[in-house]
Structure 1
Amino acid sequence: MATTATAARAAAKPATRRRALGRRLQRPGAWFVLPAVALLIVFFTYPLLSSLWQSFFATSGGVSTWVGLEQYARLFKDPLVGKSLLNAGIILVIQVPLMIGLALGLAYLLNQSWLRFRSGFRLFTFLPAVTTLVAYAVVFRVMLATDGGAVNQLLAFVGVAPIDWLNNEWWARIALIGAITWRWTGYNMVIILAGLQSIPAELYEAARIDGAGRWQIFTKIVIPQLRPVLIFTTVTSTIGALQLFDENFILTEGGPNDATLTPVLYLYKVGFRQFDFGYASAIAWLLVVITAIIAIVQFRLMREKP
């Protein structure tokens, strides 16, 4: 029995040494991770919790006063909150399906082996995604100017009267949707193209052997295989539409008549023009909740059915 116990202790020693060595090797890794964790806490976790805490205060004369849920109750009485959410909803319902549809069509076309100069077309389509938001928004503002804008000059060339793009409510929305679509279609196209290229060629060959046509291959093979990619692009595009700020701020500053006012732009105006940071924080958290709900609903609707 003593011999058996001695043998067991001798066998356990190497395992103990390996565990101790493993712990020593993990310590440097923890130090390497520490800067990233510190940055995450300082620039993400702390501002997030600070904004939530600040939403329960109201500032008057430089003095902050605890008001509880009063800022959140104020959201339901503010007509501009409803108007900004309506504008974001209009952009979301029109722009996101339009952009994802265009990106899917372009990706499918640029994935065809018979297409010549595919690399050049892919580069040309993706170029808008690498332009800065401010630069391209300024260019669109110049192009869409009522007097002397390039777009109205082209319309006049074909006999169409000039359109007041940025000073009419619905035309301003259309101009904003067009600008966003131009900017982000190529970005989503590249993601969908990567998904297309990951589909095994054997699936296409098997479908052709069974007599499937192009449309059947597209609907029965391509779309189901792209489901995770389409979910990702749709959810990220939805979040982007709800967080829209740069384009409408530069193009119209939320006008005309608040037709292009979005929640983030309204948040900016409340926080950095009216210096009502408590109410701005409440708007931000309302947007967080709405974004999370929409993302969850989209995941549930688009997930693969058993």
Structure 2
Amino acid sequence: MTMQRPAVTAEAAATKTPPRRASRARRRSLVGAAYAAPTAVMVGLFFVTPLLLVVWMSLHKWPLLGQPTFNVPDNYAGIGDNQLVGSAVWFTLKYTVIMTVLLFSLALGLALLVQNRRRGVGFLRTAFFLPMAVGFASASLLFLGLLSDEIGPVSDALRAIGLVDGYVSWTSGSGNSALGSTVVLVLWRFAGFNMLIMLTGLQAIPLEVYEAARIDGASRWQTFRSITLPLLRPTIALVLTMMITGSILAFDQFWILTRGGPDNSTTSLVMVIYR
């Protein structure tokens, strides 16, 4: 028994992490925590704290002057009794689905179109991204003028080629036309931006993978389905997150272009909160 103890001790000592390596790993962890600390503080101050404050305010009746009082059921009961809230939630969900599908499809298609370097690709990339240089409110006002039934050139052009008769109220004639006008505006404004993000993900895929697939006889569809989409998954997740978040928080385009009409058919949830 006494002769086996040194072997066990030597084996345990061999499995221990060297002190120098442990201190180096601890130092790297501290450096990483130091880099992450400012961001964590900013998120805590400007995101987590306001979120908790909003939740606390929703549970109280808070007059401008005076002390807040606990009022749990009344605030949420008022939301349930408001029919405009229900219609706004449904419209926001519908708009989010439509906008996400169309914007993602267009952005991915444009990214695939300008992926390879050839004549004119640089011009196309710039042209597709150029609408991002226009502010969202300015773009909404621009489309409001273009789609106006009185002075807008869109109705005049369509009437000149015989596609429509008379004047068309694109932003206030019906709920579908108002929604369609807003969708076109958002596609024009944000397709190039999302295209650029998708293009970055596409160019990060190694060319050797495509060469191996071509040598193996894979078709373009098989290459796209089995190579491009799986390797593009992190980029797709980022783009979809931004699209869904932006659609749920939609306000500017509806407030300027349609004012929530006609008959509150394009009133988003954020507009209800604002009102």
Equivalent position of 2:74 in the other structure: 70
Matched, 1:265 2:271: yes
Equivalent position of 1:186 in the other structure: 192
Which of 86, 91, 101 lines up with 2:90 in the alignment?
86
**What SS does structure 1 have at the residue aligned with 2:170?**
coil
Equivalent position of 1:195 in the other structure: 201
Equivalent position of 1:140 in the other structure: 143
Q: Judging changes above 3 Å, is the alpha-carbon distance between structure 1 residues 220 and 57 closer, same or farther for their aligned structure 2 residues? A: same
Which of 51, 55, 63 lines up with 1:52 in the alignment?
55
User: Deviation per CA, 1:123-151, whole angstroms, max 9, x where unpaired?
Assistant: 11111123211111111111111112121
Matched, 1:166 2:171: yes
Measured after TM superposition, the shift of residue 77 of structure 1 is 2.2
User: Deviation per CA, 1:141-185, whole angstroms, max 9, x where unpaired?
Assistant: 111111121211221121122321111211101111111111111
Equivalent position of 2:158 in the other structure: 155
Distance 2:217 2:274 in 1: 57
Q: Judging changes above 3 Å, is the alpha-carbon distance between structure 1 residues 74 and 227 closer, same or farther for their aligned structure 2 residues? A: same
Measured after TM superposition, the shift of residue 239 of structure 1 is 1.0
Matched, 1:126 2:129: yes
Number of residue-to-residue matches in the alignment: 254
Pairwise mapping of residues 17-28 of structure 1 onto structure 2 (< 5 A)?
Answer: none
Equivalent position of 1:104 in the other structure: 108
Distance 2:241 2:36 in 1: 29
TM-score, with length taken from structure 1 = 0.73
Identity of matched residues, %: 33
Distance 2:212 2:40 in 1: 49
Please report the RMSD computed on the Cα atoms of aligned residues, expressed in angstroms: 3.0
One-letter amino acid of the structure 1 residue matched with residue 170 of structure 2: W
**What SS does structure 1 have at the residue aligned with 2:69?**
strand
Distance 1:28 1:233 in 2: 30
Which of 226, 232, 238 lines up with 1:232 in the alignment?
238
Q: Bigger shift: 58-67 or 29-38?
A: 29-38
Matched, 1:251 2:257: yes
Measured after TM superposition, the shift of residue 43 of structure 1 is 3.2
**What SS does structure 2 have at the residue aligned with 1:76?**
helix
Q: Judging changes above 3 Å, is the alpha-carbon distance between structure 1 residues 87 and 29 closer, same or farther for their aligned structure 2 residues? A: closer
TM-score, with length taken from structure 2 = 0.81
Which of 207, 210, 220 lines up with 2:216 in the alignment?
210
Distance 2:33 2:200 in 1: 34
Distance 2:124 2:235 in 1: 21
